[in-house]
Every structure is written in structure tokens, then in C-alpha cells.
Amino acid sequence: MMILVTGGSKCGKSRMAETIAVSCERPHYYIATMMPFGEESLAAIERHRAMRRDKGFVTVERYTDLHTLRLPDRGAALLECMGNLCANEMFSANAEHPKEKILQGIAALNAQTELLIIVTNQVGADGVTYPQETMRYIRTLGAINAALAQSADCVIEAVCGLPLVLKGEKPICL
């Protein structure tokens, strides 16, 4: 079972994804993709850690090369977030084919879990024409999101903390 949770900034995606993850039997893995650099990302990481506290997640930090990740047990995995993983692969690892590499990683992860929840971002709706590299990022993340949605059983857009189901059935825990 694979569920994709998308949405804009601070729209309640994480909380929703966590609620879905903990509805599955343990273990619950949290696959963190944000590199801990800079004051703001550290603050964001701390905020997310506080939110996950007492929910029983095992945190696995993985910034690139998702395809090599091996989880010790089956269970639920929450990957947060695709926007960071995509940026890491494109701009830190300089992956030649970031989309294919990431999708391969997701397929490998999906095969190891009962439930895989992927948090991603909507980044293409501000109407701004950015420099070439940023446009390439928007295009790549958009293509990854579309491919993930195609193989996902359920796609949810978080809007003001509310779940809008774009594909499949709304999980009963929401």
C-alpha cells in the first residue's frame, strides 16, 4: 500500500502522514531526507521531531541513494519529503537521472514495507519564472509526483490541514 500526501507549505501534510503511519502496525520508520544545514532547517527538523515524539517512530536519515536503503523489518515507512530528496539528488549528488533514480528507490522501499507514505510538495504554482536550474527542479519534482501518484493507491492533498482525496479511498484514520 502506497499513499502520497502533497500540498503547499505548512498545510498540515506531516501531521496527516503521521496519523496514517501510526494507524499501521509497528515498526514505524521515519525516513528523513532534509539535510541538517543552516538555522532554519535545524529549526524545522526540531519542530518535526517534537511532533513525532511519543509516536514511536524509528528515524532513519537518508539524503540520497534511497535505492540502497534496507529496513530491518516490515511495517510502515513515512518518507519526508520528496522535495528535499529531489533537491539533494539534483544539486548535492548531481544524479544524472534524478527522477529514475528516485523512482527506483521508492519501488525498492515499497517492496520492503506494508505501508509506504510519501510526503511531497507542490512547488509549481507561484507563476514565477525562475533561473534554469530551478525550473529544472520544478519540472523534475512535478514529473516524480505524477509518476508516484500513478502507482500510489491513494493520493491526498492537504489544504489548511484538511485532507482532499485526489485518488483512491480516504484512509479511515483521517
Partner 1 sequence: MRLIIGGAYEGKRAYVQSHYGIRPEDFTDAGAADFCPTFAYPCVFRYHLYIKALCEKQEDALKKTEQLLECNPDVILIMDEVGSGIIPMEKSERQWREAVGRVSCFLARRAESVERIVCGCGVKIK
Kindly state whether residue 50 participates in binding partner 1, applying the rule CB under 8 A. no
The neighbour count for residue 152, using CB atoms within 10 Å, is 23
Complex with partner 1: residue 115 or 157, whichever CB lies closer: 157
Tell me which stretch binds partner 1 (CB under 8 A): 9-17, 24-32, 64-72, 101-109.
Answer: 9-17
Grid cell for residue 111: 517492496
Q: Which residues ranging from 128 to 147 are in contact with partner 1 (CB under 8 A)?
A: 128, 130, 134, 137-138
Query: In whole angstroms, how close is the CB of 44 to partner 1 at the nearest point?
Result: 9
Query: SS3 of 4, please?
Result: strand
Tell me which stretch binds partner 1 (CB under 8 A): 93-101, 106-114, 116-124, 142-150.
Answer: 116-124
Instruction: Using DSSP bridges, classify how beta strands 154-159 and 162-167 pair: parallel, antiparallel or unpaired.
Output: antiparallel
Contacting residue, 124, 142, 143, 147, with partner 1 by CB under 8 A: 124
Kindly state whether residue 151 participates in binding partner 1, applying the rule CB under 8 A. no
Query: SS3 of 16, please?
Result: helix
Q: Which residues ranging from 26 to 45 are in contact with partner 1 (CB under 8 A)?
A: 40
* C-alpha–C-alpha distance, residues 55 and 143, integer Å: 32
Peptide bond into 171 cis (omega under 30): no
Q: Report the alpha-carbon angle 154-110-101, nearest 5.
A: 105
**Where do contacts with partner 1 occur on this chain (CB under 8 A)?**
7-12, 40, 121-128, 130, 134, 137-138, 159-162, 164
